Amino acid sequence: MKFHTKYLWFNTERKREYINITREVEEALRESGIREGMVLVSAMHITAGVYVNDAEQGLIEDIDEWLESLAPFRYDYKHHLTGETNGDAHLKSLLVHHEVIIPVTDGRLDFGPWQQVYYAEFDGQRRKRLIIKVMGE
Amino acid sequence: MKFHTKYLWFNTERKREYINITREVEEALRESGIREGMVLVSAMHITAGVYVNDAEQGLIEDIDEWLESLAPFRYDYKHHLTGETNGDAHLKSLLVHHEVIIPVTDGRLDFGPWQQVYYAEFDGQRRKRLIIKVMGE
Amino acid sequence: MKFHTKYLWFNTERKREYINITREVEEALRESGIREGMVLVSAMHITAGVYVNDAEQGLIEDIDEWLESLAPFRYDYKHHLTGETNGDAHLKSLLVHHEVIIPVTDGRLDFGPWQQVYYAEFDGQRRKRLIIKVMGE
């Protein structure tokens, strides 16, 4: 069994941002030389997420509005008694989830026609990290 | 390490449908000959999901109503400027998630008493695909 | 490839409870002797979840209130025609998800600074089970 581990860093300009990282994941897969197995892509912070969906700008805006409606920014989260103001970012992370597993077949991401991997930042404007771990043979 | 990859196709009669695929996943596991490891079950479309829960008809109707209440069909999603009308299906897919990992122990799905795998279609009436990838030894 | 499988049992005092199981997962990893790979942590019941987020008490209360607002206890779920009263617990489980995959690098959980693994009980006061499966080399 072979393993290839890689970390990506982000420092977004805006608080919330959705970044297509499909190419970076494909690059990590190429570097690994793995032909069969899987790629784990996982945010290393609790105010960010990783998801698989479409690379369509209108949809990304819909997703952002929808997440804000279901897990809104508010002043009165109990978490804010710690001095933080990012309670909503924790809830958005839970909703979207912090990781995906992508199947690898014949040396490529075994995706359907429109699937793309996104890093979803919910509390940006500072350095955050993500792990890509390719596992297989 | 051994791998066994299989694809299932769906073409549902209704827009939204919930299909118990536990038997198909068990069959893929048997074919693989794998005794220890995991099964990745992942929708290959961005308007479908995969989840593990109970095979109880009333509950499935509750799940469908609940998903519609949290990620409703609407005309005014920005995604619809592309000509699509399935913005809600993308959001439902994000909510339910598109994949699960099932542990394999002693050659069987290591499930609790009521766990079943479901394919959740949110934009059906056309051919859609799902991947089952068994990995282990 | 090596495997190490372990089951944890819970019997919570309250209906809903959030239990930090990071130490138990780390212990399973140590027992396995695995240095590279992953840990699958998965609830074996359909009214519980597993998630990765912060160990901060206020936040845990926020998460609980938020889950109750999005997937509330109600009398009129169709699932209750079976005699059950835990429809909300099934929906909370879908929202939070029932499993996580944690990367393992150099013999440790490859987590960011604040990531902790939680077992989320949504229908407790009875014995429930969770599986930890360490896989790798």
DSSP one-letter string for C27-61? HHHHHHT--SEEEEEEESSTTEEEEEE---HHHHH
Residues in chain B with CB shorter than 8 Å from the CB of A95 are 94-95
- CB–CB contact C46 B112 (8 Å): yes
pLDDT in tens, chain B (137 residues): 999 999 999 999 999 999 999 999 999 999 999 999 999 999 999 999 999 999 999 999 999 999 999 999 999 999 999 999 999 999 999 999 999 999 999 999 999 999 999 999 999 999 999 999 999 99
Cβ–Cβ < 8 Å for A71, A133: no
Residue that is written with structure tokens 């897919």 in the block: B93
Query: Which pLDDT tens digit goes with each residue over C29-54?
Result: 999 999 999 999 999 999 999 999 99
The predicted complex's ipTM stands at: 0.97
Tell me how far apart the alpha carbons of residues B94 and B73 are, in angstroms, rounded to a whole number.
14
Confidence of residue C78 (pLDDT cuts 50, 70, 90): very high
B37-B97-B74 Cα angle (round to 5): 165
Confidence of residue C105 (pLDDT cuts 50, 70, 90): very high
Give chain A's contact residues with C (Cβ, < 8 Å).
1, 3, 5, 40, 42-46, 70-71, 77-82, 87, 90-91, 93-95, 97-99, 101, 129, 131, 133, 135
Query: Which pLDDT tens digit goes with each residue over A83-127?
Result: 999 999 999 999 999 999 999 999 999 999 999 999 999 999 999
Is B37 strand, coil or helix?
strand
